[in-house]
Structure 1
């Protein structure tokens, strides 16, 4: 038997609000989500996996337009297009990580400097 979840259960499992789930569905990022005979949304394991992937890509800095483009590539594009798309975003994310690491190093140096000053009185 396949497990399914109500919208409220899917929200809890994904850590997203019901409004966000509905928004992602309206934007075509998830779904179509199955409906019960009563017309209520019923999220599958595949839906929750996809929602998790969308969340990960959002955390990586992809905007809604990027996610729409990726969704279209998955539905219509070839593997090469997907690889190019993801590789480009990976390169951007790596650059951001490098800049953040530099900023952290500067902050660490300043913290150490001011800690030494404070210890001297």
Structure 2
């Protein structure tokens, strides 16, 4: 069974503060972390091996000379986040179009609709008259 770390233990291992780990998770710099039943974060070994988090922590620990590198990492992350937002907006627009289509379809199929569209009886042809031959 994999051992899980509290946020304090994860902070010690990464050299970051608990506040910084929460912030990085909130902004998406690190993936969402598993939670215990009470909602406390529990970091797995796989969470601790996250490259971006470790690289950023190393840069931060190296001091002010790494400010440009840290800014560049954040700019790259922002580019990724903006691309995800654009993709989600496209998905939302597609969903809105589908919802509008189905609302329109529902209205056309509704029994109390003022339109005859969608009603089977409205498109029914009158019955054909057939001639019957009288036999004597």
Tell me the TM-score range normalised by the shorter chain. Answer: 0.5 to 0.7
Q: 2:54 aligns with which of 68, 85, 88?
A: 68
1:89 and 2:77 aligned: yes
Unpaired stretches in structure 1, ≥5 consecutive residues? 1-17, 31-46
Q: Would you say how many aligned residue pairs link Structure 1 and Structure 2?
A: 86
Which runs of structure 1 show a deviation greater than 4 angstroms over 4 or more consecutive aligned residues?
none
- TM-score normalised to the size of structure 2? 0.54
**Distance change (3 Å), C-alpha of 1:100 and 1:111:** same
1:120 paired residue number: 108
2:98 paired residue number: 110
Alpha-carbon distance in structure 2 between the residues aligned to 1:102 and 1:82: 30
Q: 2:25 aligns with which of 44, 55, 58?
A: 55
Question: Deviation of residue 54 (structure 1)?
Answer: 2.5
Alpha-carbon distance in structure 1 between the residues aligned to 2:15 and 2:25: 11
Contact 1:29 1:68 in 2 (8 A): no
2:45 paired residue number: none
Alpha-carbon distance in structure 2 between the residues aligned to 1:54 and 1:110: 35
- What is the root-mean-square deviation in Å for CA atoms of aligned residues? 2.4
Unpaired stretches in structure 2, ≥5 consecutive residues? 32-49, 110-136
Question: Deviation of residue 21 (structure 1)?
Answer: 1.6
- TM-score normalised to the size of structure 1? 0.60
Higher percent of residues as helix? 1
Mark the structure with the bigger radius of gyration. 2
Contact 1:73 1:81 in 2 (8 A): yes
